[in-house]
Amino acid sequence: MIGSVFVLLVGIAMASGGGDKTDSGATNPASAAPKPGAAKATAPKPLASAPAAKIACADQDDRSAPCTVTVGAAFALGKHQVLAGWTIHDSGFGMTINGKAKNISDDASTMFVTIKFLRGDEVMANVMCNTGELAAGQIEAMNCLPDGTYTKKFDKVTAEAAF
């Protein structure tokens, strides 16, 4: 009885190809010669790359002049870029920022930036952020100090280099 079941299982495995999913009669498409009158295969067209996102303040000549930014969006001031994804929160001592900055220059440099949260022309909160000295291309988490104020009542955010 056990022998019959074993023979049956071996027969089924052989009939189904034993798990080999290749078609032994198929030719390799890369090595197959084109048949006369057959349409030529065309390579797929490359997808157009999406345009690079515009980095706020990157084209501003005076890095210490206030530049409007959006919370979470990348912006650049002078030799540094605050990377996209930065967030604001209440530190218990005021509004603070979590995020990273990158040295986008060819020289070592330290970033100092002031980010202001305004309602109209009134400054509702200030946050000063800095990095340690970064070599060209290096990224570091920013060290941000609040001014003691936390608010959600702002309608504009500006950034300016502090030094």
Answering whether pTM is above 0.85, one says no
Neighbours of 145 (CB within 10 A): 15
Chain centroid to Cα 100, Å, comes to 12
Please report which confidence band the pLDDT of residue 2 belongs to, taking 50, 70 and 90 as the band edges. very low
Beta strands in the chain (DSSP E): 67-69, 75-77, 80-82, 87-90, 95-98, 100-103, 112-119, 122-130, 139-141, 143-146, 156-161
pLDDT reported for residue 63: 86
The pLDDT, as a whole number, for residue 42 is 57
The answer regarding whether domain 67-161 maps to CATH 2.40.128 reads no
Q: What does each C-alpha distance from 51 to 54, 55, 71, 82 come to in angstroms?
A: 9, 12, 21, 20
Question: What is the pairing mode between strands 95-98 and 75-77?
Answer: unpaired
Domain boundaries along the sequence of the chain = 67-161
> pLDDT by residue (tens digit) across 112-157?
999 999 999 999 999 999 999 999 999 999 999 999 999 999 999 9
Predicted pLDDT at 112: 97
